Amino acid sequence: MPQSLAKLHVHLVFSTKHREPLLHDNIRESLHKYLSVVFRAVHCTPITINSVEDHVHCLFELGRTVTISDVTQEVKQRSSKWLKVQGEEFSGFRWQAGYGAFAVSASEVAKICDYISGQRDHHADLTYSDEYRNLLQLHGIEFDERYVWD
């Protein structure tokens, strides 16, 4: 086969360092737009991005020639630098060291978009930590609590 084709959807989740509630409404829309720019710069197509005060959910199409870890590193690194110049309250901003990346089948994209867009309502009753544990369990990912959080 002479041509390489791929369409892989990834649900990426990561939080602020120590789950600090720093992503307020006044920065959220600009952050989402900036994250979209970064995804495009690393040859990925953003589908939807949303956040609450302490974490971000991104659904994107993984570029055919990049790895999830490289994309995530670039997205977190560039957005952290961008946030640090958005005001004094962000001068020491950091994302958590880790992340969760989950495969999404094409038939589930709309469902995951709805899930991501409903984050504010969703987190009225559920903490990020509980949500993240649920996602790991749903996707059959074994984890050790000692190494999940920072």
DSSP class per residue in the chain: -------EEEEEEEEBGGG-----HHHHHHHHHHHHHHHHHTT-EEEEEEEETTEEEEEEEEPTT--HHHHHHHHHHHHHHHHHTS-GGGTT--B-S--EEEEE-GGGHHHHHHHHHTHHHHTTT--HHHHHHHHHHHTT----HHHH--
Residue 4 confidence (pLDDT): 85
In a domain, 36, yes or no: yes
pLDDT tens per residue across span 62-95: 999 999 999 999 999 999 999 999 999 999 999 9
Q: What is the CATH number of the domain that holds 131?
A: 3.30.70.1290
Residue 115 lies in a domain: yes
What pTM was computed for the model? 0.93
Domain boundaries, position 107: 8-148
Residue 1 has pLDDT above 60, yes or no: no
Question: What average pLDDT is seen over the chain?
Answer: 94
